[in-house]
């Protein structure tokens, strides 16, 4: 075999040049903007994290209320994330033209990636706390949810204390009592009337302030069951059977026979009512850490929510939090409890007195 120093020289120069070009391309790619590629991941990851933390915080506060501790809410006010990707390549070489062919080449590289999120939390306190948690919910908001198709029994059992003086159940030890049987039947009748489209909600007046409950002006097309439900509703609420419209308002008892007066709860009262329905270790009751659990006695009324406890962290949970060395959770297969909890979240957002339509500000820089 014949040695050709020049040929070897040219081949190694070409190889080295190609390697330099590849390295330069890699270094240039590190300078390309990362921003567009981070949007799909950041948008959903941060959104899911904020949603899950909101669920956990809400359940945690329900558990705190059960142990007679004041709730504490902290909201995410801003998320700022900064990415950086840096790289460098070093290339060196030497050539020996002797027959020994002791050519040398050195290649070096370094890279650095950084992900630096900055999250700002704001405790809810003062006027915003009072407005969001202590103000009773407007009746028209609740009946609008009912008309939109949300379960009548769940929404009204969860949020209403009385309708025209007809009282709902109370779980809190200070007012504990079972619901008036007629109240329970009223909710069933109202649900059937809504499904039959025999009753609905209408706004009138400037800005839609006045709320009217309306049922069909003619009953000739209604079946016997719907007619019976309408008669029952008018009877138990003391409504004028000749009227076709009833004004909806907040209050304890009506002044007129064409009024439906609803005493609604605040989100704080709703959370407290749910707190006294969750399962807790029996030893905590025996030791006086909290009171007894409320149980609905009506045979045809299901529990609003089932929150269980366990010493070890359970699997397959919709939401779970740790308190007093126990895990409190809602089973992901319990649709009824999940629905009630989701309604609680929606109602909480409805009562928020802060800036409307503004959520956490997410800023990404690179």
CB-neighbour burial class of residue 98 (10 A; exposed 0-12, middle 13-18, buried 19+): exposed
Nearest residue to 145 (alpha-carbon basis) of 42, 264, 238: 264
Please check whether residue 328 is in contact with residue 301, taking contact to mean a CB–CB distance below 8 angstroms.
no
Q: Identify the weakest region by mean pLDDT among 24-28, 163-167, 278-282, 322-326.
A: 24-28
Residues 6+ apart with CB under 8 A from 79: 46, 117, 118, 119, 120, 360, 361, 362, 363
Same domain, 60 and 86: no
Same domain, 347 and 286: yes
Nearest residue to 62 (alpha-carbon basis) of 314, 282, 290: 290
What DSSP letter does each residue of 5-44 carry, written as one string?
A: HHHHHHHHHHHHHHHHHHHHHHHHHTTS--HHHHHHHHHH
Same domain, 200 and 251: yes
Q: Is residue 209 part of a domain?
A: yes
Q: Is residue 313 part of a domain?
A: yes
With cut-offs at 50, 70 and 90, classify the pLDDT of residue 348.
confident
CA angle 193, 198, 201 (to 5 degrees): 95
Nearest residue to 354 (alpha-carbon basis) of 105, 161, 73: 73
Residue 71 burial (CB count, 10 A): 20
pLDDT reported for residue 75? 75
Domain that holds residue 95: 1-32+74-121
The yes-or-no verdict on residue 32 having pLDDT over 60 is no
**Where does a domain end: 199, 233, 262?**
262
Same domain, 232 and 253: yes
Q: Identify the weakest region by mean pLDDT among 2-6, 161-165, 175-179, 265-269.
A: 2-6
Average pLDDT over residues 83-90: 61
Please check whether residue 277 is in contact with residue 176, taking contact to mean a CB–CB distance below 8 angstroms.
no
Q: Is residue 144 part of a domain?
A: no
Please give the model's pTM, rounded to 2 decimal places.
0.74
- Dig out the tokens for 110 from the structure: 């370094």
Same domain, 270 and 228: no
| Beta strand 361-365 pairing with 326-331 | unpaired
Same domain, 117 and 1: yes
Q: Is residue 150 part of a domain?
A: no
The yes-or-no verdict on residue 290 having pLDDT over 70 is yes
Q: What is the DSSP letter of 220?
A: T
Number of domains in the chain: 3
Same domain, 364 and 304: yes
Average pLDDT in the chain: 80
User: Starting from the edge strand earliest in sequence, which strands make up the sheet with 326-331, in order?
Assistant: 308-310, 326-331, 317-323
Q: Is residue 11 part of a domain?
A: yes
The yes-or-no verdict on residue 15 having pLDDT over 50 is no
Q: Is residue 80 part of a domain?
A: yes
Rounded-to-integer distance, Cα 139 and Cα 125, Å: 25
Same domain, 106 and 81: yes
Q: Is residue 54 part of a domain?
A: yes
- Dig out the tokens for 331 from the structure: 């089973």
Same domain, 206 and 237: yes
Same domain, 283 and 236: no
């Amino acid at each position: 075999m014949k040695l050709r120093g020049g040929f070897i020289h040219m081949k190694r120069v070409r190889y080295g040049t190609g390697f330099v070009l590849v390295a330069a391309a890699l270094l240039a790619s590190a300078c390309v903007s990362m921003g567009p590629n981070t949007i799909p991941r950041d948008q959903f990851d941060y959104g899911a994290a904020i949603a899950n933390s909101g669920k956990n915080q809400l359940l945690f506060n329900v558990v705190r209320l059960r142990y007679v501790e004041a709730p504490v809410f902290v909201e995410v006010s801003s998320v700022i994330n900064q990415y950086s990707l840096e790289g460098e390549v070093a290339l060196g070489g030497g050539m020996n033209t002797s027959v020994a062919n002791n050519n040398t080449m050195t290649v070096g590289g370094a890279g650095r990636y950084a992900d630096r999120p900055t999250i700002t939390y704001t405790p809810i306190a003062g006027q915003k706390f009072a407005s969001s948690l202590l103000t009773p919910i407007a009746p028209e908001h609740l009946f609008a949810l009912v008309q939109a198709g949300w379960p009548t029994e769940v929404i009204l059992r969860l949020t209403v204390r009385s309708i025209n003086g007809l009282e709902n159940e109370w779980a809190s030890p200070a007012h504990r009592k079972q619901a008036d049987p007629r109240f329970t039947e009223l909710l069933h009748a109202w649900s059937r009337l809504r499904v039959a489209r025999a009753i609905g909600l209408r706004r009138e007046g400037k800005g839609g302030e006045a709320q009217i409950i309306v049922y069909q002006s003619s009953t000739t097309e209604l079946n016997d069951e719907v007619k019976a439900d309408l008669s029952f509703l008018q009877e138990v609420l003391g409504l004028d059977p000749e009227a076709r419209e009833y004004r909806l308002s907040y209050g304890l008892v009506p002044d007129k026979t064409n009024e439906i007066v609803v005493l609604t709860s605040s989100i704080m009262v709703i959370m407290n009512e749910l707190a006294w329905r969750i399962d807790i270790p029996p030893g905590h009751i025996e030791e006086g850490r909290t009171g007894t659990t409320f149980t609905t006695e009506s045979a045809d009324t299901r529990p609003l929510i089932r929150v269980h406890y366990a010493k070890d962290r359970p699997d397959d949970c919709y939401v779970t939090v740790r308190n007093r060395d126990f895990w409190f959770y809602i089973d992901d297969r319990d649709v009824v409890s999940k629905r009630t909890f989701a309604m609680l979240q929606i109602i909480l957002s409805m009562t928020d007195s802060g800036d409307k339509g503004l959520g956490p500000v997410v800023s990404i820089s690179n």
